[in-house]
Structure 1
Amino acid sequence: MLRNPPPSVPAMLLAAGRGMRMRPLTDHTPKPLLSVRGKPLMQWPMEALLRGGFSRVVVNTAWLGEQIEQRFADWPEQQPGAEIAFSHEGQDFGYALETAGGISRALPQLGDMFWVLAGDVFAPDFAFTSGSVERFVASDQLAHIWLVPNPLHNPSGDFGLGGNGLALNQADEKFTYSTIGLYRRALFDAPWCDTIPGNPQGTAEPLAPLLRKAMDAGLVSAELYTGRWADVGTPERLKELNRLLG
């Protein structure tokens, strides 16, 4: 039992993408269910969340989303205390809503503060901690994101990291967004986001423009994560990852 349970913060796990670069593997299997060392890729971060004491996860789906729900329908039985819910964008609209659109659609299930992470990123050493949540709660930031050293497929990076701990839209040195972050619901309201909360109209909207706008206002903090991390974006990367893990 955890001595100091973290604040009750759910997680949004992004699993709605088509995975075009992973074809033909994703023609019949959604990318988050592809196997890494004998487990579905998305199960690794789900287990990491549980280790940190974060039991509730909301998963958005689109392409072959029924397979994801079927695979994890018994997740609470496998992991006592765990909770899982779904936001089925494919069923509701016939397409994926991109990252910000998907988060906005799931807001009624997420509350005022939540983790966001991708179901196709492998970061087995990342620790989801109550300390990170408590620091974020005490701040006035709209988001806190983790950056990683640039992989070969993204040499220019995405965002900078200021000496004051703020994420920078413009910087001489940029790092890659790990896809892991803590977010406040307010980022998905005006003036940062034009989509109606709950996204009843099914607007597809990317996340980066919202982050960049909030960064320019000094409302996004960041830190560098240097543990194992891989964006499993192609069959070659998946094969290499499984080879390295033995």
Structure 2
Amino acid sequence: MAEASLPSLTELYHNYTKANGGRSGIAGIQSLIVNCESLSDAPGVKPVSLKIYRKRPSKMRMIIDYGDSSVETITDGEQVWKRWESVGGEVRQEEVTGADREDILRDVYIDGPFYRMDGREDYLEVEAIEEINGEPAVRLKVLPDAPMRFDYIWLSLEHFQEVQLSRPKVSESGEEKSERMVFSHFTKTQEVWFARKIEFYSGETLLRGVNVHQIRVNPGLFDSLFTLN
């Protein structure tokens, strides 16, 4: 598609808010509980249950249940903790600091990265229209000053939510590959579109898929849930 026919960031931001209940509708989702299951094609890898609690502005608790053990990631938006429970019921917990803390804090928000960037031209650049999941999507380049870890964002031209995110990743051998998250099977929950399926790729290799079984909106979460206790 010719560059002159590409939508502007202002148009995309307006269409995003309009398709997702307006600014008040988006802000009206103050907390979430998401139940999902992670699946892998790797031999011998069993499905894993995930339960994710989120509360504005940046609180999160994620529980990964392996059946006989579990790992929790907890943050109040400032401090971050990990909690492990082993097969025998032994519990170990510690505070997460440094680069690991920063990585976790980038992923704690209810809103997606495009909406958080507020249509700023110093953060994003509209590049092209491409097909993702067989549907048209606009590709945005993430500029160096943007406070996010992704290098490209693709937005649906139907509901304007992210349908793909990518970032470069250097392996232990020094090889650089693109890591991608692909979002599909969208449904509306309280006027906002949410993906019900997420796939994680390294290059063209599918690493795992996540199926979202339930999304509960504004369930009434106490702040104490987002601290280590």
**Structure 1-normalised TM-score?**
0.28
Richer in helix (by share): 1
Richer in strand (by share): 2
Q: Which has the larger radius of gyration?
A: 2
